[in-house]
Amino acid sequence: MTSDLRASDTPLFRFKNSRVSLNELLLLDYDAVRLREDLASHAARLPSLFRQMPVVLNLEQLPAEQPVPPLDELLAICRESELNPIGLRGNNRYDEALCLSHGLACFGASARAERDSAEAKREPVTQSPARAEPGAQSAVSETAAAASNTKILTTPVRSGQQVYVPGGDLIVLSSVSAGAEVMADGNIHVYGPLRGRAMAGVNGNTDARIFCQSLEAELISIAGYFKACEDLQSAHWEQPAQAYLSGTRLDTAPL
């Protein structure tokens, strides 16, 4: 009877923001035989921990020059030791479609630099110089991969023009005119006056920022949080400035 009452007007679900603490399996190097043995010995020591523990496979620190481990093999080794891989980080090494076909979620690589440096502080003893080096190399290769999505414009973006850079940064070496729109999934740099609209982090990246030589914008927006011209005119107007998100507030600061 109660279920009848509920049926029509109450929603069946709602989305709720939640944070789950997850462990990452951070691969520093890959050797199938050794990995299988090491994981098995870990599992033997801590059977309660390994019982279907969800993990995110982190491949960011694998040496860049090494071939990518076969995904099937890697997953099989994890599952043998009763780990439950649920996602991948640093998956620009694998095709996204391949990950999805294995039921793995693709985690972004955001805030990687901060996390890496934090880890370096936490484990100064275990991290031998030999291991630190491949890590540094992979960081370089990731920068290069990100750079390939960057778009550089040397001419002014005129009124009525729209520029969108999917999955990367936009750099404008000239001005962005009033009535023009520049958008990027990453950051936006304007080395001239920004008079039009600028939208950074279009895909929801809240870490994206907007930098410009002279802030005269009609509107700036980061990950959907925006400020219009009227609210921008007080501080840093016509000054070199940057915009970033603090929580849900869009802030500007001088450069």
Partner 1 sequence: MAEIIVVTSGKGGVGKTTSSAAIGTGLALRGFKTVLVDFDVGLRNLDLIMGCERRVVFDLVNVINEEATLNQALIRDKRTEGLYILPASQTRDKDALTQDGVERVLNELSEMFDYIVCDSPAGIERGAHMALYFADTAIVVTNPEVSSVRDSDRILGVLQSKSRKAEQGEQVREHLLLTRYNPARVQAGEMLSVDDVRDILAIPLLGVIPESDAVLKASNQGQPVILDDQSDAGQAYQDAIARFLGEEREHRFLEVQRKGLFSRVFGRKG
Task: Give the binding site for partner 1 (CB under 8 A).
Answer: 155-161, 174-175, 177-180, 193, 195
Tokens of 41: 């010995």
Question: Considering the complex, what minimum distance in angstroms separates the CB of residue 164 from partner 1?
Answer: 14
d(CA 155, CA 176): 9
Question: Considering the complex, what minimum distance in angstroms separates the CB of residue 147 from partner 1?
Answer: 23
- Tokens 């009227």 — which residue? 230
Q: Which lies closer to partner 1 via its Cβ, residue 177 or residue 242?
A: 177
- Tokens 């927006």 — which residue? 221
Q: Which lies closer to partner 1 via its Cβ, residue 155 or residue 246?
A: 155
- SS3 label, residue 5: helix
Question: Considering the complex, what minimum distance in angstroms separates the CB of residue 177 from partner 1?
Answer: 5
Q: Which lies closer to partner 1 via its Cβ, residue 105 or residue 228?
A: 228
- Tokens 């049926």 — which residue? 7
- Nearest CA to 244 among 203, 200, 204, 214? 200
Question: Considering the complex, what minimum distance in angstroms separates the CB of residue 170 from partner 1?
Answer: 16
- The H-or-E segment that residue 148 falls in is helix 129-148
Q: Which lies closer to partner 1 via its Cβ, residue 162 or residue 203?
A: 162
Question: Considering the complex, what minimum distance in angstroms separates the CB of residue 21 from partner 1?
Answer: 50
What are the CB-based long-range contacts (under 8 Å, 24+) for 67-75?
68/93, 68/94, 69/27, 69/30, 69/32, 71/98, 71/99, 71/102, 72/102, 73/32, 74/30, 75/102
Question: Considering the complex, what minimum distance in angstroms separates the CB of residue 57 from partner 1?
Answer: 44
Q: Which lies closer to partner 1 via its Cβ, residue 18 or residue 155?
A: 155
HEC sequence for 203-217: CCCCCCCEEEEEECC
